[in-house]
Amino acid sequence: MATSQPLFQSKIDVCKVKKEKKADKVPNIIKKQVPKIAKAKPKQLTARVFADRMELRSAAKKVPINVVQFSKIKKVSKGAEKDKVAALTYEGDKKKPNWVVFLRFNTDKGYDEFLKQVDKAKHPETAQEQP
């Protein structure tokens, strides 16, 4: 795989992955976990955002998920604007097909840019209309 330049890089305070078998339980998981993620102790990660994916890296610990492919995101749920929390409903594996990836961004700019990039990847036709 050829290495390309990231569109931008951002710091993430918290990254957590919850895996669930049943899709109908996902909204309840998001509802319960978003406030917890907003208050969680920061564990710094670096996110490198490309056109089709986001790579997560940490110098200190193992990362819960290394690469987030934008094509596998089913839904993006946003927390309160001040909390900078995004919950991604994500395609999982055979055993647990529904993953929820919670991200708390360090900066407003990183949060906004990430959401724009995910929206562009999911809806390329609307992204081309905007200047």
**Under CATH, which number does the domain 8-122 receive?**
2.30.29.30
Supply the pTM of this predicted model. Answer: 0.87
Kindly give the confidence (pLDDT) of every residue in the chain, 131 residues in length, as a single tens digit, with 9 standing for 90 and above. 456 888 999 999 999 999 999 999 999 999 999 999 999 999 999 999 998 899 999 887 888 999 999 999 999 999 888 999 999 999 999 999 999 999 999 999 999 999 999 888 876 665 444 44
**Domain residue spans of the chain:** 8-122
Q: What is the 3-state secondary structure (H, E, C) of 53-112?
A: EEEEECCCCCCCCCEEEHHHEEEEEECCCCCCEEEEEEECCCCCCEEEEEEEECCHHHHH
